[in-house]
Structure formats: C-alpha cells, structure tokens
Structure 1
Amino acid sequence: MKHCDKCNVDIQTNQKYCPLCHQILSGEDDLTKKEIYPEFVPLNRTVLPLTKKIMLFITVITIITLVSVNYFTYNTTPTMWSLIPIGSTLYFWLVVRYGILSKQNIAFKLAFLTTLLLIILNLIDQNYTISPATPGWALNYVTPLSLLACNFAISVIIWVKRINYREYLIYLLSILVFSLIPIILGLFKVITVLWPSIAAFGAAMFILLVIIFFFPKSIKNEIRKRFHL
C-alpha cells in the first residue's frame, strides 16, 4: 500500500507516481500484489542528440578561438584575459546542457549551476579583481547570497508546484551545509563581511525547521531512507 501526500489517499499500486496527480508516492512496493493500474509514463520532452553535439561544437570552437587570440596578442596585452570569457562560455554550455536539455529535476539543476557559478566567480575574484578596495566580493557577498537565492528558489518551487518536499530534502540539507561554510570562514577571518553569510544560514535553517516542525515523522523516515540508517 502506498500513500500520496498531495491527494491524501492510500493506493494499492507498485507504481512510483500517483495516478491522480502524478506526484511521487511514499511507501514500499509489494511484489506479491497484482498491478491494477497501467504504468504511468512521464511526458518528457525528447532532445535530439544532434542538438547537444552542435552546442558542444560551438563551445569548443569558441574556446579555441579565445585561446588563439589571447596567445597571438599576449605580447601587447600580457594577461590571460581569455580565461574570463572561457569560463563564461563553459558556464553557458553547462546551463544549456544541464539546465535546459537535462531531464534531471529542477532542484538538482539549481544546486549544480549555482555551485558552478560560485566556483567561476570566486576564481575571477581571486585572480582578476583589479581594484584593491574590492577584493573578496565573491566570498563576502556573492557566495552566501547565491546560496540564499538557491534555497529560496527551491522552496518556492516546492510550494507553488505542490511538489513532494521529500524529493528535494537532500538539496535543502546540502544548501544548509554549504551555507555554514562562509560562517566558518568568517571565524577564521577569511570572510570580512558576515551579515550575508548569517542571513543565508539563518534562512536555510528556518526553512528546514519549518519542514521538520510540520512533518517530523516524514522527515525522520526520509533521513533513514536516504542515509540507510
């Protein structure tokens, strides 16, 4: 017997999705039970492999062009300026590849692309910040506020689309852990502006506590299942 949290009904099925609302069902499969519902097949948009190959080809050609121009102009401009547009090009390709063409759920896309963007921006901050008055802007402001925005976006998606929050719990926990890192760096004086980090961690903790308060049993069962406790 499985249960749909959205419809609040018990369903005698071994299917993964609710036949009424198509949300993920909770509960274990009963292999001895004869299936009475047809299998639900999600309507995923098919993407031609040629589209991915074209995007990859354009990305590779762009990177080769940037490196070549940087190499032949290095005598007049002795800097590796091409790394910045190369990083932007790679990020654009990954946004298309994993954000648009990927069939992964939207929380994975947000978490993955946010992490990638933070890595690129921190590398730019550490190596290409020209003004001595603004070093550390990526760690002090962009990193914690991006984590805050990602956490808020996932929460809004769960609320607006009425998605089963258990499917996104692991991402909320991951963002909570990542939000703690800037605070730890602040204790070691690596980060000099603490309020964005405190705001990001506080928001992540608040969202998690709301879920735990209203769904304590479900959270306990989900953590046991996820971490095989």
Structure 2
Amino acid sequence: MKNCPYCKIEVGGNLKKCPLCQSKLNGEAEAPYFPKQTTLQLQSFFYKVQLFIIWAIVIASLGVDFLFGVKLWPALAHIHWSLIVAMWLIVFEFGIMRLFKKGISSSRIMTLFVFIVLGMLGVTAYYIGQLWVIAEWVAPIVIMGTLIANFVLAMLDKNGNSMVYLLTNLVVGILPYIVFYFAERDCPLVWIICLLVSVILFVGAIIFKGREVVGEIQRRLNV
C-alpha cells in the first residue's frame, strides 16, 4: 500500500499523488479500486475530434470568406456564406447534439429537433431572400410529418406517455394558425391542412388511447 510522507496516511489503489496534499506517494501500488473506463474515454476522444473538426471548419470558412473574399455562389455574392455555415455547425454542436440524451422522450427529441432545424432554415432562407418558401411550404409539410410520427409513437408507446404526444400534436398543429390569426394575415392552405391533420390525429389518439391518457392524468395529478 502506498503512503504519503507528509500527511502520514496510507492510500490504497494505484494513485500516484496524495489526495490531500497532492505530493508524490511512496510504496508499492495495489490493484486499482475501480475499473478503467475505456468506453467513456473512447467516446470522449471521438467527441473532442468532431468538436475540433467543427471549429476548424467554422474558423476556416470565416477566414476564407472575410479575409480572402472567396464567394461560393456567384448569384449570392452579396452575402457572407461563412456566417450560414458557422450558424449551422454551432447550432448542431450545442443544440441538436444535446437533445440525444438518455431519459428524454422520443416525442420531445423529435419535436425540438424539427423546430431547431426549421428555425435555422428560416434564418438561412431570410438571408438569401427565400423565406416564403420555408414559411408557406417546407415548414407545414415538415410539421405534418412530425404530427404523423407523434401519432404513431403514441400508438406504440408502452410507458404511459400518451398525454405528452397528444399535447405536442395539438400545440404544434394549432400554434402556427394562432400566429397567422393575430398577425392578421390569411393562413395559407397548407397550414390549414396541417391544422386539420393535427385535430384529426388528436381525436384519433383520444379514441385509441383515451384510457391510458385518463390513467396518466390521474397518476400525474395524484387523483
């Protein structure tokens, strides 16, 4: 067993320094108390590699764009394309990557992922002058796909989370229509279809999962 000549304590395992004063330990090392976390070390290494690659691309893009004035698209020569590249990579790294953690429901991951991507698409489209394409076509179609996926997950879920899917579908489907209403703008046909799909799937989930939803409400509210 190792010992510290200054603190006069014995230290088991294979530590090299005293846990109290950080001085070098004397004596023979023993078998380590805890197994070596090779899996976590490997995951940490690959995370650092991809983080380095992302920041290298961001810095290189900004340098090529602002310092050398290189334009990738002649039709968009008036914009700084490196800002769009940096936005996508940084949001991917510090936004989307954080969604995929243990314990987060599939509905929450998918819904937040869709909203983050749509937000970035909106900023990109506004930057290049094509925001109407995202607002009137891409966004409602993608959201309808999310609603359908949430409905399917609600049917397959066995953990008593049906209410989460129901509320997600209802909010995602109705919120855009409310925004158009208070903005005093005519709601595009695709968004109206999205609203109808949301209500239909909500009713369908109530019909097929009504008992599970009631049980979940009673469990969450302790009634």
TM-score, length-scaled by structure 1: 0.62
Report the counterpart of residue 205 of structure 2 in structure 1.
211
Report the counterpart of residue 153 of structure 1 in structure 2.
149
User: Do the aligned residues in 1 keep the contact of 2:177 with 2:187 (CA within 8 Å)?
Assistant: no
User: Do the aligned residues in 2 keep the contact of 1:172 with 1:208 (CA within 8 Å)?
Assistant: yes
Report the counterpart of residue 174 of structure 1 in structure 2.
168
Structure 2 residue matching 1:48: 3-state secondary structure: helix
Q: Aligned Cα RMSD in Å?
A: 3.3
> How many correspondences in the alignment?
178
| Partner Cα separation in structure 2 for residue 73 and residue 191 of structure 1 | 43
- Does structure 1 residue 59 correspond to structure 2 residue 54? yes
- Kindly indicate which of the two structures has a greater share of residues assigned to helix: 2
Report the counterpart of residue 138 of structure 1 in structure 2.
134
| Partner Cα separation in structure 2 for residue 152 and residue 174 of structure 1 | 11
Residues 63-104 of structure 1, C-alpha deviations (whole Å, 9 max, x = no match)? 1111222211349855221122223334554697357x6434
Same amino acid, percent of matched pairs: 18
Q: Which has the larger radius of gyration?
A: 2
Query: Cα offset for 1:198?
Result: 1.5
User: Do the aligned residues in 2 keep the contact of 1:111 with 1:171 (CA within 8 Å)?
Assistant: no
Report the counterpart of residue 113 of structure 1 in structure 2.
113
| Partner Cα separation in structure 1 for residue 98 and residue 157 of structure 2 | 21
Letter in 2 for 1:175: N
Report the counterpart of residue 68 of structure 1 in structure 2.
63
| Partner Cα separation in structure 2 for residue 208 and residue 105 of structure 1 | 19
Letter in 2 for 1:199: I
Query: Cα offset for 1:180?
Result: 1.7
| Partner Cα separation in structure 1 for residue 151 and residue 116 of structure 2 | 20
Letter in 1 for 2:157: I
Letter in 2 for 1:163: D
Letter in 1 for 2:142: S
Cα distance, 1:53–1:102 mapped onto 2, change above 3 Å: farther
User: Do the aligned residues in 1 keep the contact of 2:176 with 2:191 (CA within 8 Å)?
Assistant: yes
Structure 1 unaligned residues grouped into runs of 5+: 1-44
| Partner Cα separation in structure 1 for residue 61 and residue 174 of structure 2 | 37
Letter in 2 for 1:170: V
Query: Cα offset for 1:219?
Result: 1.5
User: Do the aligned residues in 1 keep the contact of 2:154 with 2:205 (CA within 8 Å)?
Assistant: no
TM-score, length-scaled by structure 2: 0.64
Cα distance, 1:153–1:79 mapped onto 2, change above 3 Å: same
Structure 2 residue matching 1:79: 3-state secondary structure: coil
Structure 1 residue matching 2:161: 3-state secondary structure: helix
Cα distance, 1:113–1:191 mapped onto 2, change above 3 Å: farther
User: Do the aligned residues in 1 keep the contact of 2:169 with 2:202 (CA within 8 Å)?
Assistant: no
Cα distance, 1:168–1:125 mapped onto 2, change above 3 Å: farther
Structure 2 unaligned residues grouped into runs of 5+: 1-38, 72-76
Report the counterpart of residue 74 of structure 2 in structure 1.
none
The equivalent position to 1:200 in structure 2, one of 194, 199, 203, is 194
Report the counterpart of residue 81 of structure 2 in structure 1.
81
| Partner Cα separation in structure 1 for residue 45 and residue 184 of structure 2 | 45
| Partner Cα separation in structure 2 for residue 190 and residue 123 of structure 1 | 22
Higher relative contact order (CA 8 A, sep 6+): 1
